[in-house]
Amino acid sequence: EAGVAQSPRYKIIEKRQSVAFWCNPISGHATLYWYQQILGQGPKLLIQFQNNGVVDDSQLPKDRFSAERLKGVDSTLKIQPAKLEDSAVYLCASSRTTGGIDGYTFGSGTRLTVV
C-alpha cells in the first residue's frame, strides 16, 4: 500500500509569514494526526482527526495554527503568522483506528525553518 504523503519536504520562511503543509493519509485510514517535532525532542501531537471531525486539538496553538480535513481524506495544516519557535519538523501520520491502537504510519515530514 502507498504510504502517507506529505509536502513540501522543506520550507524556509520569515517570521510573521504564513505557511501551509499538506498530507494525504493511507487509503482507508480514518484517523489522521499532525505532530510537531522540535529538534532533540519526541513528536508532540498537535491535532487528531477522525474522518473529518476533530478528536483532540488540545495542544494546537489556535491563535496561529489551524488545520482542516475536508471530505475526511487529505489534510492541511496552516501557521499564520509564524514565529521563530515554530521551527520544527511537522509530521503527519494515519491509522486505521482511533488512537492508533493498531499502529501508526508516518509520512516523511516537512522541515520548517523560520528565520
Partner 1 sequence: GIQVEQSPPDLILQEGANSTLRCNFSDSVNNLQWFHQNPWGQLINLFYIPSGTKQNGRLSATTVATERYSLLYISSSQTTDSGVYFCAVNSGGFKTIFGAGTRLFVKA
3-state secondary structure of 98: helix
Span 64-103, contacts to partner 1 by CB under 8 A: 89, 91, 93, 98-103
Determine if the peptide bond prior to 8 is cis (ω within 30°): yes
| Part of the chain binding partner 1 (CB under 8 A), chosen from 13-21, 69-77, 79-87, 107-115 | 107-115
For the chain, the farthest-separated pair of C-alpha atoms sits apart, in whole angstroms, at 39
Residue 81 or 106 having the CB closest to partner 1: 106
Instruction: Select from 20, 26, 30, 55 the one that contacts partner 1 (CB under 8 A).
Output: 55
Residue 17 or 99 having the CB closest to partner 1: 99
Q: Does 38 bind partner 1 (CB under 8 A)?
A: no
Q: Give the total of residues touching partner 1 (CB under 8 A).
A: 23
Q: Does 53 bind partner 1 (CB under 8 A)?
A: no
Q: How far apart are CA 27 and CA 18, in angstroms?
A: 29
Per the CB < 8 A criterion, the answer to whether 110 and 11 are in contact is yes
3-state secondary structure of 7: strand
Instruction: Tell me the Cα Rg of the chain.
Output: 13
What is the binding site for partner 1 (CB under 8 A)? 41-45, 48, 55-56, 89, 91, 93, 98-106, 108-109, 111
